[in-house]
Amino acid sequence: MGEKIVYDDVLVLLGEFGRCALPGYDNDTYQIQDDYHSYLINQSIPSHSSCMLRNQSIDQNGNLTSREYKCQSWVYDKSLFTATLVTKFDLVCDNAVYQTNAVMVLFLGLFIGYTTLSTASDIFGRKPVMLVSNFVFVISNYLMIWSPNYISLMLIRFFIGLSMSGQVLVLYIIALEFVGPDQRIYAGVGSFFTWIVSCFIYICAGYFLRDWQHLHIFVAIYSTPVLLNFFCVPESPRWLLTRGYNSKASKIILKSARINNIEFDKELIKDIEINDKVTQVKFWRMFTNYRLCIRTLIIYFTWFAASMTYYGIILNMGLLSGNMFINYVITTSLEVLAYVIVITTTDRIGRKMMSCIYLVIAAICLTSCIFTELYAPPGLKWITTVLALTGQFAVTSAFCILWFWTGELFPTELRNTGTGTSSAVARIGSVVAPYVGYMKIVIPGVFGRISPFIVYSSLCISALTLSTIFVPETSHLTLPETIDDCIQLGHGFGKQKSKPSPEEMKMLNSTVKS
């Protein structure tokens, strides 16, 4: 995944955990204090809604009348968390949609960041964008601790999302541009594993720090060292060379050589050249051929479906049965397993085959969740959790494969643009995901409980069907260089790659040395 949901976003969507406060009862608490307190709760709060108060009276004829009205204050269950964003800003009842908005605005920042900061890093350099993003991220995390109202909270979360996209995107690009072709897959996937380590650290902090402000203090302190990247992370030599800063690039390359105990000829480094070309092909040309147009739109839809399903499950982790902390640890561990399996099997079995297998697993599991929600007795609700987590694992694997598969479906001159726009479409799916989970609240009855799973399973089935029919396999095929090559993918273009013979390797080595 390009970026992951953080644990605090799960806290935002955990739900109400409370009820209306009893009017005139100054020391009211969610926990029942005594028999009289229990009696007042039963008389004042209707059983069908914790957002309403009931006022009962006897008229002059001796008839009992009852009137229900919306309450304006609440008490909260503090047995699991002492304080959350929901309890601080009373994001319950009619204001419950603001929970979803608080998560959405972070994804909106990610979406805008991915669509703008990639261009900014090409214009101004990788390191300046990274440094500004790091600074905004750290400052925003400290400001988050003392958010005075909901509007400032939303604004700060937007800038957290915006700066996160700059950090993730630029560091990923620097890592890929700083290593040779054979090491790029490890540099790319390595960033996923470092994020997983941070997820484990964060869930441990969340377990011991049950107040959201204390948790954000930890996050702010934990994130502050990223400012040291100013001294630790150099500019990308590849970007410097494309902009004609050969002297600066040479210094960075020579420093890397000294660290690796490799001797370089300084004069040779001064004349180093780069083969990157500024693209002259406009991206809209991918839509001028019906085959490319359909394929591109299906790839976009698959990214959208995978992103919405992944974040939809993660954000509603607290609604699944079982311990929420254990569920989060399990799903994070499954992501590690997903990355390992993808690395070890995708080249052998193929991008298309593996993606389809994972989408089949996801579709079966999420469709099964509908029936377990409808028919499983309360004691077997854990089956829904197991199926949902398995579906999330499958979607994570499919999402990881999409990064490789998408890059091989676009021509060289449009590969970065194609992958970047696909990732931007995925961010739209993550923006919509919180509202799919909100369907459980706004849609009454049984259909409300199963509606998110209907959406997720339908998306997986649709993505599976469309990609199976219209998107070609690219594993072990020559990368397309032009638009015409892309049109011929799946129709004879791209010879199977084979390892060069020892004689060919000898010839290549002698050519390089000469």
At 98 the three-state DSSP class reads: helix
Mean pLDDT throughout 238-244?
Answer: 75
DSSP state at residue 261: T
HEC readout, 135-172: HHHHHHHHHHHCCCCHHHHHHHHHHHHHHHHHHHHHHH
Is 494 a residue whose pLDDT tops 60?
no
Mean pLDDT throughout 103-120?
Answer: 81
Helices (H) and strands (E) counted in the chain, each on its own, are 20, 4
Domains detected in the chain: 18-76 (no CATH), 291-514 (1.20.1250.20)
More confident residue, 154 or 415: 154
Backbone angles phi, psi at 66, to 5 degrees: -135, 130
pLDDT at 47: 75
| 357 to 341, 361, 367: CA distances (angstroms) | 13, 6, 15
pLDDT at 511: 34
Mean pLDDT throughout 279-300?
Answer: 79
Is 132 a residue whose pLDDT tops 70?
yes
Of 215-229, 277-291, 371-385, minimum mean pLDDT range: 277-291
More confident residue, 256 or 298: 298
Mean pLDDT throughout 238-258?
Answer: 77
pLDDT at 505: 40
Mean pLDDT throughout 277-282?
Answer: 55
Task: For residues 200 and 379, give the distance between their C-alpha atoms in angstroms, rounded to a whole number.
Answer: 29
Question: What proportion of the chain, given as a percentage, has pLDDT over 70?
Answer: 80
More confident residue, 264 or 154: 154
Q: Share the mean pLDDT of the chain.
A: 78
At 362 the three-state DSSP class reads: helix
Tens digits of residue pLDDT in 446-492: 888 888 889 999 999 999 999 888 888 887 777 677 788 788 876 65
Tens digits of residue pLDDT in 410-436: 876 677 677 778 888 888 888 888 788
Is 12 a residue whose pLDDT tops 70?
no
pLDDT at 183: 64
- Find the DSSP H helices in 146-236: 150-177, 184-208, 212-223, 229-232
Tens digits of residue pLDDT in 32-67: 888 888 888 888 888 777 788 887 666 566 666 677
pLDDT at 497: 46
User: Left, alpha or beta for 478 (phi > 0: left; psi -120 to 50: alpha)?
Assistant: beta
pLDDT at 186: 66
- Structure tokens given for 379: 């004691």
Distance of CA 271 to the CA centre of its chain: 42
